[in-house]
Structures are given as structure tokens and as C-alpha cells.
Chain A
Amino acid sequence: MSGPVFDYVRPGDLNEALASGAQAGSAYLAGGTDLLPLWKVRAAAPARVVDISRLPLADVEAGETLRLGALARLSDVAASPDVRSRWPLVAEAIAASASGQVRNMATVGGALLQRTRCGYFRNDAFPCNKRAPGSGCGARDGENRGHAIFGASDACVATHPSDLAVALAALDAEVELVRHGGSRRVSAAGLHRLPGDTPHIDTALAPGELISAVEIPDGRGACAAYLKVRDRASFEFAVVSVAAVLRLQEGRIAHLRLVAGGVAPRPWRLAAAEASLMGQPPGPAAFEAAAALAVEGARPLAHNGFKVELLRCAVRRALETVGGAA
């Protein structure tokens, strides 16, 4: 292939993997569908690739909650009858992601940890604070049609590309993290961080830490939908996406999550729109008002102003889908 040389290790168990991963210069390899392209374009230069793909963290366990092993392949998750019947939003978001071949390779953990598709990040002829801290942001005053309208900073205006991350945030999922000597949980909505002055740090993970599983609460009684708007009908990242989860009680909205993708450095919770609908009966006027609130505070760049209107319409349509069918 084409990037700088690295060592390869395939640890026999999780402890061995965490010990290797804790060494400076290590990068974990699961499906490889993001790491290898990044390495080829020199946006990643690991000294050591720690292949965790065969560790026993690939189970899909449906009980009261749904537990997805971090190494479960996306195609296996989406094909699980339990996932399709009880957590269809997960299957829907995966079906809207990548291609059949990539879904056979890519893992749950890797989908959450994939890095931005920003063209400046993935081309080392341009400056990028995420790839080379301090070099500047090519996108802020460059070609930024695909970039963020929320949560960006002077240093970085990239968006996060994962469909699954958006769905998991809307389902109140938790992400289990392990490192040498301990484990902890963070909310799926809190896994990714805003760029601020340190856009090279994408997530809450500490060096050497890895995702071991994702746990999703029981979603019975709620209606959910993933609406993905993109430049072509398949095998394309979202320009804008919306995950909506809604539960009615006695004709009024008792639970609502609205999370947008393609518009921010992380899955973007539309909290004001959610709050405006709580306790209300579903209906076109209420949905329209919530959609207007969803785009309040948007800060578009030179080429992505259309995303504001696109997001407003996508929120309304997603609400009609879950509110009409509930």
C-alpha cells in the first residue's frame, strides 16, 4: 500500500490488546475501512497497528436492552431479527451507511470512531488543524458546502460522518469504554467532543482506550425514523440527516429525541425543538414550529447556507413520519 511503515500486532486477548494500545504511536484496527484510507492519504501514521478484529467483542445480545459488541460487523447488526424488530432505527441507520462490502467489514465501534470526511483533512496538500494541529483550517474560508452549521470553531468546521452515531444518540445509548486497568461508560450523545482549540481530539476516549460495547435501552412503544438526505441515493454521506424517536401517551408527546447528522462535529441534539413538543399533541403546526426552532442558532459558512433550510424541512418530515404513524 502507500503510507509510512508500521508494525503489526495481533493480541490474543483484551488485556494484551490494551497493553499494546497504551503504547505511544499505537492505533487499533478493527474493520480497517477508515484507518487504512487515512493511512494511505497520510492523515494517520501509526507506528504500530494493534489488530483487535478477532477479540471476542462481536456479540449482538438482545434482552431487556440491546448490547452490541464493539466488533460486531454492521451487516450482522442490521441483519439481526431482534434489532430489526425492536430497534429498527439501528438497522435503518446502518442500511443507509456505506456499501454492502464496507458494511461487511466495518464494526460498531469503528463506525462511531470514524473521522471526518472533510476534504482538507484527507488531503495533505492543504492545511488542517485536525490532521496537523496549528496548520490552519482550509475549509473555513475554502470549499465548505459539506461543513458544519452548528458547533464549529475557528480552528475546525468539519462534520462527523456516522449515521449510526446519530441513531444511537437518539436512542439514549451508552458506550462502554475500556482501558488498561478499568472501564467506564459515556452517553452516545457525549462520546464526541466539540473541536474548540483542539480539533485533533475527536472523542472522549483517552489514549489507549477502546470501545468494548454499546448498550441501547428498551425502546418499546416508541416510533422511530432515520431520514438521510444526500447527494445521491446510495453509498453517500449525509448532507443532512435526522433521527427522530417519539412516544405518545394519551394523545400527547411523552418522549421525543431529535438528533441531526451532517451538520455538526458530532451528532447534534435538537433540544429546543424537542422541548417545544413535549406534552403537546402531534400536529402540523406544532411540527412546523419545532422545525423552525431546530435551526435557531445555526451559523452557516459561505457555501452551506442551504443546510439550514434543508435541516428545517428534514426535521418536519421526520416528525411527520414518527408522529403520524405513532
Chain B
Amino acid sequence: MSHTGRPQLSLTVNGEARSLASPPTASLLDVLRDELRLTGVKKGCGLGACGACTVLADGRRIKACLALAQSYDGCAITTIEGLESDGTLHPLQEAFIRHDALQCGYCTPGQILSAVALLEEGVDSRDAIREGLAGNLCRCGAQPNIVAAVAEAAGL
């Protein structure tokens, strides 16, 4: 399989099958935001440092800015838009609201998706939450409340 133009790309995004033509150089972040209009996925540094673009690919957290979209052909992607079910927020979304775990909110979708995956990976302490969320920066300084929200959701 070799492509130069706009090859076909198939993804399951938030449970829905999506198919589109996408240039070989597009990142998963570009596709989600610009083609599929899922603007809850944020672009921060674009170089893998800030974590604002965190999404789940087949259930694992990744940085969408470092992901070549074509390389994820056939994968199931979850963005912040896909976390609620039937109008009910995910427990981590509820916990972020309860703990006021944000100020500007730009990093929040990435923080929450990273935390969803972190709880799946397993955490047993607040230190493990801090270490586990090291790939998500918050420049407002809401980190203590973020850790509190995740700790509550983890039952710590």
C-alpha cells in the first residue's frame, strides 16, 4: 500500500465509524479537529510535551499530535466528546467539576482522558497520580485540584 494524494482513512471515533480522505502528513490531531470538528481535542505544543491533545486509541492514552493519522487507520479513538453516555458525565468529569480542577480549561480534556486511562492502568497513591499525569501540563496551576479529583475517582 503506497499513497501520495489523499488516501482513505477509516476510524471509529466515539463509537461511530468515520471514513475520510486524508493527506499522508496529517496527524491524528489534525484529522480529529479539522476534518471531524472534534475541537475538544486541543493543540498545545504540537511536539508531545504538553498533553493537551491526549486521546484514547484502542483504550490507551496517546498524544494525538505525535500520531500520524494513517498509522491509526482502523483504530477506535475516544475524545472528550465521547466520554459522556446518554447525557450523563463520566465520573472523572463530575469529579473535575466538584473539585474545581481547572481555570482556563484548555488542558482539561487531555487531563481527563489521561486520567481515565491512568485509572485503567491502576494507581494506588496520590504520588502515583502525580507521576502518572506528568505528561499533562497545566499552566494555570490547577494541579492540586486535578490530583484531588483523580484521587476521588480512584477511591483514594
Report the bound CA distance from A234 to B63 in whole Å: 17
Residue of A nearest to B131 (CB): A234
Query: Is there contact, CB below 8 Å, between B66 and A37?
Result: yes
Q: How many residues of A contact B (CB 8 A)?
A: 33
Query: Is there contact, CB below 8 Å, between A9 and B47?
Result: no
Query: Is there contact, CB below 8 Å, between B134 and A99?
Result: yes
Query: A residues 99-120 with Cβ under 8 Å of B?
Result: 99-102, 104-105
Partner of A104 from B3, B25, B61, B68 at Cβ < 8 Å: B61
The yes or no answer to A10 lying at the interface (CB within 8 A) is yes
The yes or no answer to A49 lying at the interface (CB within 8 A) is yes
Q: Is the interface of A mostly helix, strand, loop or mixed?
A: loop
Partner of B51 from A1, A11, A41, A99 at Cβ < 8 Å: A99
The yes or no answer to A33 lying at the interface (CB within 8 A) is yes
Partner of B135 from A9, A37, A98 at Cβ < 8 Å: A98
Query: Is there contact, CB below 8 Å, between A101 and B24?
Result: no
Contact with A along B5-25 (1 / 0, CB 8 A): 001000000000000000111
Task: Please give the distance in Å from B77's CB to the nearest CB on chain A.
Answer: 13
The yes or no answer to B67 lying at the interface (CB within 8 A) is yes
The yes or no answer to A3 lying at the interface (CB within 8 A) is yes
Partner of A29 from B51, B61, B68 at Cβ < 8 Å: B68
The yes or no answer to B151 lying at the interface (CB within 8 A) is no
Query: Is there contact, CB below 8 Å, between A32 and B66?
Result: yes
Query: Which residues on B sit within 8 Å (CB–CB) of A33?
Result: 48, 63, 66
The yes or no answer to B147 lying at the interface (CB within 8 A) is no
Query: Is there contact, CB below 8 Å, between A10 and B1?
Result: yes
Query: A residues 1-26 with Cβ under 8 Å of B?
Result: 1-3, 5-12
Known A1-B30, A9-B3; 20 more pairs at CB < 8 Å: A1-B27, A2-B46, A3-B25, A6-B24, A7-B4, A7-B24, A10-B70, A32-B66, A32-B67, A36-B65, A37-B66, A99-B51, A99-B136, A100-B61, A100-B117, A100-B133, A101-B51, A104-B60, A233-B131, A235-B134
Contacts A/B (CB < 8 Å), 18 sampled: A7-B3, A7-B4, A8-B25, A8-B68, A9-B2, A32-B67, A33-B63, A37-B48, A40-B47, A49-B24, A99-B134, A99-B136, A101-B51, A101-B61, A233-B134, A234-B134, A235-B134, A235-B135
Residues of A whose CB lies within 8 Å of any CB of B are 1-3, 5-12, 29, 31-33, 36-37, 40-41, 49, 51, 53, 75, 98-102, 104-105, 233-235
